[in-house]
Amino acid sequence: MTSSKVTVMLFLSIFVSSMMAASAGNFYQDFDVTFGDERAKILNGGQLLTLNLDKFSGSGFKSKNEYLFGRIDMQIKLVSGNSAGTVTAYYLSSEGPTHDEIDFEFLGNLSGDPYTLHTNVFSQGKGNREQQFHLWFDPTKAFHTYSIVWNSQRIIFLVDNIPIRVFQNLETIGVPFPKSQPMRIYSSLWNADDWATRGGLVKTDWTQAPFTASYRNFQASTTSTNSLTEQSAWQTQGLDAAGRNRLRWVQQKFMVYNYCSDIKRFPQGLPAECRRSRF
C-alpha cells in the first residue's frame, strides 16, 4: 500500500473517530439547569448529572441544542425506595401552543411495586396518545438506556435497545406527525402526588427526601454530529423481524395501558392510527 493511501486512510479513521466522539455528551457542554438551583448537580467532569427533589422544589435541565430528527440515548437510574408521588420526566419538546413532544415519564410507586413508564406523542399541540408499561427489571438498581429514534417515517421508543413502542408517520390518512419543529431534550424530577401514584391516592412521603435520579452517557446522533454511516442508521431505522418480535413481547407482557384499546375513552371510534399496523 502506498504512503499516500495510508495517509488518506489514517485521516479518514481519525475523522470518523472524532465525529463519533463528538456525539458523546458532556453535561457541562450540552445542557443547562432549568430550575432547582443546587438540586441539579453536574459531577465527574460533566459525565454524571443528578436531579434532586425535596419538599421545597424539584429540579430539571434542558439541552442547549435543538434537534430535528435523530437518535437520543440517555442512561438513567431512577429514584429508589419509596418513590410514590414523584415523576421523573425525560422527553423531547418544541415550544408554543402547537408544540410537538415525545415523552418518557417514570411514575414513582411504593417500595417493592413497579414503576409505571408512561409514553406519549404530541403533534401540533395534540397528545392523548398514552401507552404505559411496567419494566422487566428494577430501574432503580442500575443505569438503563432509554432511547428515542425519530425520523421522517416513525418514532421508536427503546429501553436497553429493545423497542417498546412505535408511532408511525400516517399523514397520508390525516394523522399529524412531528416533522417540522426542532425539539430540545428536557428532564425533570418533580412532585406530582395529586395524580402520579394510583391516581393520586398515594402521596409523597417527605421523610424519604431528598429523592434522587441520576443520568450519564448522553448521546445524540443527528445530521450535525455524526458520520454519514451513522446518519443512515437512524434516518431509515424501522423494525426487522427480530425487532417486531421483541416489541410484541414487551407489549404482551408489560403493557398496562394502551389508548388504542380504550374504547370507553373514544366512544365515537378509536383514533385513525389505532386502526393501522403498529409496525
Sheet with 70-77, strands from edge to edge, namely: 40-43, 48-53, 211-221, 70-77, 144-150, 154-159, 162-168
Identified catalytic residue from 38, 66, 101, 230: 101
CA-to-CA distance for 77 and 79, rounded, in angstroms? 7
* Sign of the dihedral through C-alpha 120, 121, 125, 126: negative
Q: Is residue 230 annotated as a catalytic residue, yes or no? A: no
Q: Is residue 273 annotated as a catalytic residue, yes or no? A: no
CA-to-CA distance for 130 and 277, rounded, in angstroms? 17
Identified catalytic residue from 66, 95, 105, 273: 105
Q: What angle do CA 216, 218, 219 make, to 5 degrees?
A: 155
CA-to-CA distance for 119 and 164, rounded, in angstroms? 10
For residue 87, the cross-strand partners are 107, 190
For residue 210, whether the previous peptide bond is cis, meaning omega lies within 30 degrees of 0, is yes
Active site residues: 101, 105
